[in-house]
Structure 1
Amino acid sequence: MARDKKPSIIFIDEGDALCSSRSENESESARRIKTEFLVQMQGVGNDNDGVLVLGATNIPWSLDSAIKRRFEKRIYIPLPEAPARSNIFRLSLGSTPHSLTEHDIKELGMRTEGYSGADINIVVRDALMQPVRKVQTATHFRRVRGPSRDNPDVMEDDLLTPCSPGAPGAMEMTWMEVPGNKLLEPIVSMSDMLMALSNTKPSVNENDLKRLEEFTEDFGMEG
């Protein structure tokens, strides 16, 4: 199909699942799939001009040697640096209301050395849950002005938002007593991000990174 629709790109994510080293213990079907893959990528009479095959893996050392030869360029993509991490925070927040400043986002990028893009997404998702937790655990609410749930362009003066017991106008109540159309959840703040960050550790350890760098030195090719 790729040849028929060319120019085209075939992308194989988690390529180690398909292209791991062949062994005597694997099933006949798995062996046939790998053999067919090798033949299609670089077999006699195959015309792959206009077809680009890309693969990604976190454990390149497990790839079959014949597969490694088929992928002519082996490029190591390291963990994101601080500016890239800050940008991932921005993208992950998207249009979600928050009170983070540009300085806050840059600081988060600096604080997340060793975090992958997926790790940062987990941090943001956890932070986005913090306002929900504040609502659920609040013992006091106060009236504030904010956009109507039914029409965001209309401002209302009687919305209820969580607060501390000592806050001006605090009323003792739980979220179950707040009418659904009058609840104003707190927006995501820097403290929410820092709380989420303290609960999320990097998923990539130093040994894995060192092994990836050693593989790159032995087999990698710069694009």
Structure 2
Amino acid sequence: MELIASQLEADTDYSFVSQLYQQCSSAITDLRSMHHNPHLSASLEDLLETLSFQKSVLDVRRNGNRNSVWDRRRVASEGAFQYSVPEYSSSSSVMTMTQPEPLTMSREDPIQEMLVPYTGQTGQLEEVVGLEEVKEVLSEAVIMPRKFPQLFQGGAKPWKRLLLYGPPGTGKTKLARALSSELQCPFYCVTSASLLSSWVGESEKLIRELFKHARQQATQTFIFFDEIDCLCRKRSGGEDEHSRRVKSELLRQLEGARGDDDDGVFVLAATNCPWDLDPAFLRRFQRRLYVPLPHSEARKAIILAHFSPSPLSLSEDDWRTLLRVTNGHSGADLTHLATAAAFQPIRELQTARFWRFTNDNKITPCSSDTLGAMQYPLSKLPADKVMARDTELKDFLSALKTSPRTVTADSLRLYEEFSGIPDEVAT
């Protein structure tokens, strides 16, 4: 693409060039979806942006506008390049482009993006359904030391680094946000995409700046690493030097760069694959908490919360059936299931032909033999009067066909083996 842009002739087949660009873009996109290596993904993203820029050069040349494109900047994950205005020779249409110059970019900007502002919402730990043991440990580690500092003297030092692990969709991220909201302290939400850079040395500097920024806060700060296994996978002999330096710097900061452990920074991490973590990182976390799938009472509370404030009218037998068929569902699975079930009565409105008035003067579907039934298509009814029927057990059973559980029995055994849970206890 760069060669075509620099040696453009009048008889260039633009349709072929456009087709070539689409094929290259699709190939790069497919590679990014196949490979989960963050460094490779950043390089492919950089290549895709370069390809897009060269395509814009061709489009401008084709339209005869040579000046509008040169203000465009190509931004990498941690820096930017600006293309300077090319110089054209009077005797030739060949253009020459000066070497891109790197632009300096403050590391304060990505750190500020990690800092989640406090919105004033009243999220509390007790509002998280179930997970009583996990919430108790989080309260002992973070909340009680702030309320009763005199109790945590001598050997009873509170934990400073905790790891949450378990199946996806069990509420690990929700626990972190609820804890931060309850403490009303600065909350940094960190992912691999926000830390890893394609520039050599930038990732390590950004990690140092992150912990430095957190330690400079006036109050206790909270750093949450989501999907930390993307950053801290087991080291191997074939690992590149850049990844090793990033892991070494993160290990150093987790331990405490100043050599003390009382720096006002609390680190919480979450992962769905704890067995992929390097043993050195596992050792840094003083407590590892298993976040299991919700039990029957928690599943019932999650479903009821989804339909709040409207009540969900199910009999005791219906609840027993529903809780039995949802055994093994995560919190996220139950949310998707409840949404799909709630759409079943709405979907019936489009095919309903007979309607009746309710006690509160609303219009709802009914059968043809219902006393006072009216026959109308939905389009002929006043929109503000139409109301769907209540969600029933049959709606949940129908929704199970399209919203099955996502956590398999084999994956659950992996978590139980990692946690050291005996089979008889797990069952």
Secondary structure (helix, strand or coil) at the match of 2:391 reads coil
Secondary structure (helix, strand or coil) at the match of 1:19 reads coil
Aligned position for 2:292:
78
Whether the aligned pair in 2 keeps the contact of 1:97 and 1:188 (CA below 8 Å) is no
Aligned position for 2:397:
194
1:2 equivalenced with 2:205 (yes/no): no
Aligned position for 1:173:
376
Whether the aligned pair in 1 keeps the contact of 2:364 and 2:387 (CA below 8 Å) is yes
Instruction: Return 5+ residue gaps in structure 1 as ranges.
Output: 147-155, 219-223
Secondary structure (helix, strand or coil) at the match of 2:272 reads coil
RMSD: 2.6
1:67 equivalenced with 2:281 (yes/no): yes
Aligned position for 2:160:
none
Q: What is the TM-score normalised by the length of structure 2?
A: 0.44
Displacement of 1:168: 2.4
Whether the aligned pair in 2 keeps the contact of 1:8 and 1:52 (CA below 8 Å) is yes
Cα distance change, pair 11–127 in 1 and its aligned pair in 2 (3 A): same
Aligned position for 1:137:
351
Following the alignment from structure 1 to structure 2, what is the Cα–Cα distance between the partners of residues 207 and 26? 32
- After superposition, give the CA deviation of every residue in 1:157-194 in whole Å (9 maximum; x if it has no partner): xx321122332233332212211122122232333233
Aligned residue pairs: how many? 206
Following the alignment from structure 2 to structure 1, what is the Cα–Cα distance between the partners of residues 235 and 368? 65
Aligned position for 2:151:
none
Which of 331, 337, 346 is equivalent to 1:117?
331
| 1:149-160 mapped onto 2 (5 Å cutoff) | 156=361, 159-160=362-363
Whether the aligned pair in 2 keeps the contact of 1:140 and 1:162 (CA below 8 Å) is yes
Whether the aligned pair in 2 keeps the contact of 1:89 and 1:105 (CA below 8 Å) is no
Whether the aligned pair in 1 keeps the contact of 2:303 and 2:338 (CA below 8 Å) is yes
Secondary structure (helix, strand or coil) at the match of 1:74 reads strand
Displacement of 1:59: 0.9
Name the structure where helix makes up a greater proportion of residues: 2
Displacement of 1:31: 4.6
Following the alignment from structure 1 to structure 2, what is the Cα–Cα distance between the partners of residues 179 and 94? 26
| 1:47-66 mapped onto 2 (5 Å cutoff) | 47-49=260-262, 50-66=264-280
Whether the aligned pair in 2 keeps the contact of 1:9 and 1:51 (CA below 8 Å) is yes
Secondary structure (helix, strand or coil) at the match of 1:55 reads strand
Instruction: Return 5+ residue gaps in structure 2 as ranges.
Output: 1-212, 422-427
Aligned position for 2:313:
99
Amino acid at match of 1:110: R
Aligned position for 1:203:
406
Cα distance change, pair 45–80 in 1 and its aligned pair in 2 (3 A): same
Displacement of 1:81: 1.5
The one of the two structures with greater contact order (alpha-carbon pairs below 8 A, sep at least 6) is 1
Which structure has the larger Rg? 2
Amino acid at match of 1:3: R
Displacement of 1:43: 4.5
Aligned position for 1:213:
416
Secondary structure (helix, strand or coil) at the match of 2:223 reads strand
Secondary structure (helix, strand or coil) at the match of 1:56 reads strand
Which of 4, 23, 40 is equivalent to 2:253?
40
Displacement of 1:4: 2.8
- After superposition, give the CA deviation of every residue in 1:93-146 in whole Å (9 maximum; x if it has no partner): 221343235664455333321111111111111111122112122122223332
Secondary structure (helix, strand or coil) at the match of 2:286 reads coil
Cα distance change, pair 18–105 in 1 and its aligned pair in 2 (3 A): farther
Q: What is the TM-score normalised by the length of structure 1?
A: 0.79
Cα distance change, pair 27–162 in 1 and its aligned pair in 2 (3 A): farther
Whether the aligned pair in 2 keeps the contact of 1:20 and 1:63 (CA below 8 Å) is yes
